[in-house]
Amino acid sequence: MDSKEVDEVTRRVSVLVEAVRSDVRIVAEGVSALTGAVAGLGNRIDGLENRVENLEINVKAGFDNVEKRFDRVKVEFDKVEKRFDGVTTEFEETRAMIKLSYTELDRRLGTLESGYSELRDRIERLEKSS
């Protein structure tokens, strides 16, 4: 190979090396951009994880609050139920007393009606005899 050929080969190799260097720079810039994007996504994921953890804490606190309120309502309901049972018992006792009173009044009224009939009959007999 003569000097011209060597120069031509050297020039072509230099052009190829420069093209490869340019391609390597482009790839390096792409890798750098992707690394930044991945880091940004990592930060966003961390932020989302924190938000989910906070949401879990708030939901649990909310459920705990609802459970406590439900327990208080249950206690109050039990008190109302006991009072209702007492009122029901008193109502039944009152009903029984009224029934007894009605029976007694009915008996006494029957006695009065019978006595009235007897008195009316006696008055009529006395009026006829005089």
- What tens digit of pLDDT does each residue of 60-69 get? 999 999 999 9
For residue range 82-103, list pLDDT tens digits in order. Answer: 999 989 999 998 888 888 788 8
Phi, psi of 2 (to 5 degrees): -95, 180
Q: Is the whole-model pTM more than 0.85? A: no
For residue 129, is pLDDT > 90?
A: no
Q: Span 7-35, mean pLDDT?
A: 91
Q: How far apart are CA 67 and CA 36, in angstroms?
A: 46
Classify 103 in phi/psi space as left (phi over 0), alpha (psi -120 to 50) or beta. Answer: alpha
